[in-house]
Structure 1
């Protein structure tokens, strides 16, 4: 029995909800995307959203033309306005990522992804600066300076990888960052700019980025990097399988920037993990499973101690970096599939959204919080084996002694495991239809609902003893609410079938 203290140990960080990732930003123009975003904001409520491609050709911002023998440039914000309007309408703000390079401004033709984002430096840093200045000035004019000052602005994406930045040229990235950061501050000194948005395994870039920023006196308002724990891809048609490191590896990666930047000018800056997940592949079936929710539960419970934000990559399976998905469940990054079917990891986030602000206890398998009205909320998860050498325990026992302020509490339990709150399992039983029919979609939405149970629990000396048995890969949310019994004094359930009661 683990005794939970009556007094809070602090406040529960909500760094997990500061930002969420998305496929390329122009996808916000689509109906399924907007429907998914509305749902996730209603049930979870993220604050910012980050995606690639704000300045790529699909958004149509950079528009050069020749007139009377002179080359000119027009900056068009037709799609930018529609995208940002859609995000703000859903109650979420942009976390701007400046990239990729418009083809007509690029110094080369190298691209990444099915949708061909150009990853080469600008042929003219002056024109790039004009593009950045014009875009930000437009956003300030349209949405107001106070609003846009709340939108972090990140320069590029994973420049340490040749796939995302030609030759992974660090000096070229520093030059791009310097030009961009000064341009951002020319628009307004209060705008937030940062980087270097590196992928895992390139932490030496952080130290050199700090040296560069200090040597060149370059503005940096936050530091960003990414975190994943998967090994090399083992390809199968339209998918991959990968080994996984323990989830604690994600927490280690979250902690790296502050550890490496001690003693530098960047030491006290906010740290944003602008992408994190288990696998870095958008076609790994692990993302769709109950295992994945249990695997990430300790990350959400502890990650706020190490970073100012950590952004799940991504909120929806509407994501086309390797092409249009070939099946409803295809291992996509999303918390939601197309057509808004909730995955087990989606429920992990909804459970976190129902936790209280006062942190009472945390352990290897549980998180306990309290609400201002006295409610106690418990998030518990079964341990997993990320090596795949075992399926994990069939049963996991957890006993908690919880502080309460009533003689009895109403206990509501919501459960997600291999069989409950798990549309992926139902889809597999159904025969894995690539394009489910309307009736099948209804079944999958039904299967995605967590199992729920309710009971009343007596207390003793201001404590309730909660015994939980978790199944394999289960996450569960238990909410304990003080009971005020308003049943009339003559109520007796034995009367239901007419039995005489003295």
Structure 2
């Protein structure tokens, strides 16, 4: 008689054969790890901090990249997040290496974290165990407490249909079937008394409109609200298929199906008893008397709208007033909202292919392109008096520390007259100094007090003036009235062009004003100091800033230059700061005048010109919702680059001028820092710094193409005192909290030395960006430099797209070669990885997570200021150098920027 094991063997063999057949039939190569018994509060960064990067990690293959996706487990009956997570990897090797690395750190943390039982001594900073920085590794480990075992296992194939769908889609299928293609879904429940379903939408939208929140910006941003009906979901516990699934499970139930099955059985039992069941951090069930309310699923077109909805409503009481005939809450406390973003498939925006876009970047440390010009160290603003406000003083000090190279600041209105005369309070697009007035007989009265205060503030904080000679004092303007104006963010721009924009009543008085000003600065600060400044004449004379002719501007320029040089013969002066690149024919005509035109001040030929300046602006728009895409902001970097290209083409056509320094005196995504509109809603988040990285880097490429001596690209953004937090103005900081944009300049400040040859398979060609901007695939570009003096190599990598829409990130492999040219015999290097992203160097997302407070507490301000600093992606670490080569792999979300710094 056969043994019991012999009887069971054929069935076992058949199941194994069936598994293999099903696995062979599957095209999915993704490997899944499942983390059980974990906190439901883990974030993506908790997992990514443990990623082994670099060839020093045995068994890690760089080309197979990072974690593809982290998906929190959910109970599909209630949509509640559970205490387990799915981790998707591109290969079994990547998953195995991550699993081993995480397990090793978990054991290390358990052995070296002080406790009341064993009380071991905590490892000190820098202490290594088997070549690993134990202190950093333990500090970065957050998957489970040190006192708890790590339960991280690989799901064995074949995967269940549900898991196969999750893997293919990198998330759950959309829970609510919609024709409106809303990509982001939010789970909303109410603890306590329930509001009638027909009132939920009204309460939410009224609150959004009253508070000017992101999801109320028109119908295309309004949430679509659906009551969740779990019976409509195909799940392992569906009533109609329960018997069939039970039979299937008895034969071959996968691990994740079993977890969901057991969980739902327990939950249904407790609900029959009138109770709710929750799970503690160790997986133990906890029964409470919490009433399970209705579950709503809200759909949003944009990630920002979904995030802001959650950050505003989570744990907030939902107050409502009943209409006539409706039953109200009587004396009950209002219900408390619970809101969270569901980790779902984005059907329009993410490909069904699970392997992320792979980008290979190469940097050759032995191949120099010449000195990298430190262009990103120029800033400016309309309002000169903002410099002496508390916010202005703090920000100027930060600008002075951005780079080892000198920072400069340009401002309008340094010669504008105050109105009333004793009021120099800054306001939008206005400033004044009272530098020039006249007595009753028309004699000049010079007063340098306010200018001195402004320039003192610059210099004391490490910033030097890029001194703009303008605008016209009231007493000198030919048509002075009206002179002042009140601008607000929705005004028509042209209201600002008042009396200060007019030609002077006397060219001689104008010239003498310039002479006395420069003479005063030399006497006060010395020739050596003032010789290091830039002087330029007026602003954008080809548009409304100058209410005169071209020839009258040339006269204005001639008198200014002559008198600057009369006061300081070695002063550095230039212009013409025209708008729109070359400004049509303006730039060419100006160069003609300075080369061989008649000097209106001296009668001689030509006029001095030490540097050439012009302006370049992007052209963002708001794209209304269509059948194929939601409404969204769309940038246009090609508009700015075309300005630059056209101006460079004009300059390079003049042999006598092409070697002169060129400064793009304003280089911005749009044309009005003090304006607000849907088209300008890029200024708080990541798209602004990523746009700037692309624009400035491509400016450098265009300078190489046209053989231009590019000396600077100036950002027209500063700060406004006494405005709301993150109000949407184009500023670098808000209430002394640095925005993400400021951190891209901190990155540029670390790119010093010689520019290196660097190539990226994800970078669009210069001609493509010039012609079409970045509307198809994202632009994954690189700018790299080596500083011989410091022995440092730095590479900036960005992932940019014009559309402010959710898009997939990329997997980057960065290969650096040629290090043996500089580091002979070097076997290892220190790597510091800086990141501007959703959770790094980003005060805006931190502020949103706090609920968008307009009166943050002292503790919140400390958090926000810390979030506004340039942060690293993990701790600095050691990487192996083999034959002068280093390889690093990392993921890069859309609109994120990385700066990797290698030093021996």
Distance 2:448 2:895 in 1: 46
Cross-structure match for 2:407: 47
Distance 2:744 2:584 in 1: 29
Matches within 5 A, 1:223-234: 223-231=612-620
Cross-structure match for 1:256: 646
Residues 437-471 of structure 1, C-alpha deviations (whole Å, 9 max, x = no match): 43332232233242431333223222111112212
Q: Which moved more, 1:4-13 or 1:462-471?
A: 4-13
1:427 matched to 2:847? The reply is yes
What is the aligned length? 462
Cross-structure match for 2:393: 34
Cross-structure match for 1:331: 728
CA contact under 8 A between 1:15 and 1:304: conserved in structure 2? no
1:218 matched to 2:218? The reply is no
Bigger RCO (CA 8 Å, 6+ sep): 1
CA deviation after TM superposition for structure 1 residue 351, in Å: 1.3
Q: Which has the higher Rg, Structure 1 or Structure 2?
A: 2
Distance 1:441 1:267 in 2: 49
Matches within 5 A, 1:408-487: 408-449=828-869, 450-454=871-875, 455-482=877-904
CA contact under 8 A between 2:815 and 2:885: conserved in structure 1? no
Residues 62 and 374 from structure 1, CA distance in 2 versus in 1: closer, same or farther, beyond 3 angstroms?
Answer: closer
CA contact under 8 A between 1:229 and 1:279: conserved in structure 2? yes
Residues 475-497 of structure 1, C-alpha deviations (whole Å, 9 max, x = no match): 11122233xxxxxxxxxxxxxxx
1:300 matched to 2:696? The reply is yes
Residues 414 and 126 from structure 1, CA distance in 2 versus in 1: closer, same or farther, beyond 3 angstroms?
Answer: same
Residues 377 and 212 from structure 1, CA distance in 2 versus in 1: closer, same or farther, beyond 3 angstroms?
Answer: closer
Matches within 5 A, 1:263-278: 263=654, 265-278=656-669
Distance 1:161 1:233 in 2: 25
Residues 184-212 of structure 1, C-alpha deviations (whole Å, 9 max, x = no match): 23223322222211111623210111223
Q: Which moved more, 1:56-65 or 1:258-267?
A: 258-267
Residues 398 and 111 from structure 1, CA distance in 2 versus in 1: closer, same or farther, beyond 3 angstroms?
Answer: farther
Distance 2:455 2:848 in 1: 37
CA contact under 8 A between 1:242 and 1:279: conserved in structure 2? no
Q: Which residues of structure 2 form unaligned runs of 5+?
A: 1-359, 418-431, 488-495, 599-605, 624-631, 704-709, 764-780
Cross-structure match for 2:798: 381
Cross-structure match for 1:140: 522
TM-score by length of 2: 0.48
CA contact under 8 A between 2:363 and 2:758: conserved in structure 1? no
Distance 2:485 2:437 in 1: 22
Distance 1:366 1:190 in 2: 39
Distance 2:561 2:874 in 1: 53
Cross-structure match for 1:369: 785
1:172 matched to 2:552? The reply is yes
Cross-structure match for 1:393: 808
State the secondary structure of the residue aligned to 1:274: strand
Matches within 5 A, 1:71-90: 71-90=442-461
Distance 1:101 1:394 in 2: 50
Kindly report structure 1 stretches of 4+ aligned residues shifted beyond 6 Å. none
TM-score by length of 1: 0.84
Q: Which residues of structure 1 form unaligned runs of 5+?
A: 235-240, 319-323, 483-502
CA contact under 8 A between 1:257 and 1:271: conserved in structure 2? no
Distance 1:227 1:420 in 2: 29
CA deviation after TM superposition for structure 1 residue 229, in Å: 0.6
State the secondary structure of the residue aligned to 2:459: helix
Residues 362 and 110 from structure 1, CA distance in 2 versus in 1: closer, same or farther, beyond 3 angstroms?
Answer: farther
CA contact under 8 A between 1:107 and 1:120: conserved in structure 2? yes
State the secondary structure of the residue aligned to 2:729: coil
Distance 1:8 1:113 in 2: 55
Q: Which moved more, 1:346-355 or 1:360-369?
A: 360-369
CA deviation after TM superposition for structure 1 residue 264, in Å: 6.2
CA contact under 8 A between 1:232 and 1:242: conserved in structure 2? yes
CA deviation after TM superposition for structure 1 residue 258, in Å: 3.4
Distance 1:279 1:131 in 2: 33
CA deviation after TM superposition for structure 1 residue 368, in Å: 2.5
Q: Which moved more, 1:6-15 or 1:48-57?
A: 6-15
CA deviation after TM superposition for structure 1 residue 379, in Å: 1.4
Distance 2:644 2:454 in 1: 30
CA deviation after TM superposition for structure 1 residue 138, in Å: 0.8
Residues 26 and 10 from structure 1, CA distance in 2 versus in 1: closer, same or farther, beyond 3 angstroms?
Answer: same
Distance 1:14 1:56 in 2: 33
Cross-structure match for 1:491: none
State the secondary structure of the residue aligned to 1:71: coil
State the secondary structure of the residue aligned to 1:443: helix
Matches within 5 A, 1:43-192: 43-44=402-403, 46-57=406-417, 58-66=432-440, 70-108=441-479, 109-111=481-483, 114=486, 118-162=500-544, 164-166=545-547, 169-192=549-572
Distance 2:449 2:550 in 1: 33
Residues 268 and 2 from structure 1, CA distance in 2 versus in 1: closer, same or farther, beyond 3 angstroms?
Answer: closer
1:312 matched to 2:703? The reply is no
Residues 385-407 of structure 1, C-alpha deviations (whole Å, 9 max, x = no match): 2144x533333423323344322
CA contact under 8 A between 2:755 and 2:784: conserved in structure 1? yes
Distance 2:519 2:613 in 1: 24
CA contact under 8 A between 2:455 and 2:465: conserved in structure 1? yes
Cross-structure match for 1:496: none
CA deviation after TM superposition for structure 1 residue 75, in Å: 0.5
Distance 1:211 1:359 in 2: 34
State the secondary structure of the residue aligned to 1:456: strand
* RMSD value, Cα: 2.7
Residues 259-313 of structure 1, C-alpha deviations (whole Å, 9 max, x = no match): 1131365443321111111122223331221122122213333434522211111
